[in-house]
Amino acid sequence: MSRIGGTQPGTPRLALPALELLRRTAGSPRDLATKIARLARTLRALADHDALDARLSRLVALGHVERAPTRLQLVVGSIDMLRFWIEPAARDYYARRGIGFGLHQVLRVLDDPASMVDPTGFLVDRDVIIGHLMQVVHANPAYDLQLLESHEDGLEALERQVRAMLDGTHPRARSIGAIVEEPDYHARLLEYVRAFRDDPRAAHAPVRENVVASDHFRRIEQTFGTLPGAMRYFARLPTTALGAARHLLTVREFPKENF
């Protein structure tokens, strides 16, 4: 696996004061109205069971999901993915770089609050997934690219938008540029997207530097770094409310045996 790494000076995220970063990610009043509308659509989608079933069915047909988890398993799995993988790996990454994790989260919310609603990405639309991929240096973007295959034009739209980000024509270029701290991230992401579109099995995901450097995070990445791995984990979770509650209350660390 290749790696995304190497802090280089000159990115707005590293060069600008916090108030300017906040201003850039918040955008204009029109931008804020657009974000609020997108958030409202995302919250409504949480109740759209038919759309979720269709997306899961497509992922099963593509071979990314062996057995579709229940909705309860999706909820519990997303909590586990957040508490065992996304949050601790991100917090470690920003600590290593000397970047405040709290400010980073505020910038992400201001750029696109809808991207914070669903850690699994199943209930958000295509452009929310793409925006999230572009605003965060991912520990492993493979999961998100596989998820985008559940949208008819997901990968094509991702490549188009990453190219626009690189040439400065993307409508969120200024805002996303105030969040991403690695100047070569989008170029590396574009390289991976093109390789993935050519041959998903042969494409090497660019794994983030702090994951590569940690035995602990590398082990967890083997489960949550890809959609098939995450869905296998989800499908082994409890299927009853009592079992789910017991799991969340008693399982405090990523299970070594992975059930």
More confident residue, 99 or 80: 80
- Residues 143-191 pLDDT 10s: 999 999 988 899 999 999 999 999 999 999 999 999 999 999 999 999 9
With 0-12 CB in 10 A as exposed, 13-18 as middle and 19+ as buried, what is 18?
Answer: exposed
According to DSSP, the residues that pair with 4 across neighbouring strands are 208
Mean pLDDT in the chain?
A: 90
Cα 234 off chain centre by: 17
CA–CA dist 111, 128 (Å, integer): 11
46 confidence band (pLDDT: 50, 70, 90): confident
E strand map for the chain:
3-4, 207-208
Angle in degrees, 0-180, between the axes of helices 101-111 and 87-97, rounded to the nearest 10? 120
138 in Cβ contact with 144 (< 8 Å):
yes
88-to-12, 41, 97, 106, 191 alpha-carbon distances in Å: 25, 29, 14, 17, 27
- Quick check: 3 pLDDT over 80? no
- Quick check: 2 pLDDT over 50? no
Residue 6 pLDDT: 39
Mean pLDDT of 10-38: 91
Angle in degrees, 0-180, between the axes of helices 215-224 and 87-97, rounded to the nearest 10? 140
Residue 259 pLDDT: 56
- Residue 226's nearest CA partner among 67, 120, 118 is 120
Residue 139 pLDDT: 96
Indicate yes or no: pTM above 0.75. yes
CA–CA dist 243, 11 (Å, integer): 47
Pairing of strands 207-208, 3-4: parallel
Residue 122 pLDDT: 85
CA–CA dist 200, 28 (Å, integer): 38
CA–CA dist 179, 22 (Å, integer): 9
- Residues 213-231 pLDDT 10s: 999 999 999 999 999 999 9
- Residue 224's nearest CA partner among 147, 166, 167 is 147
Amino acid at 250: T
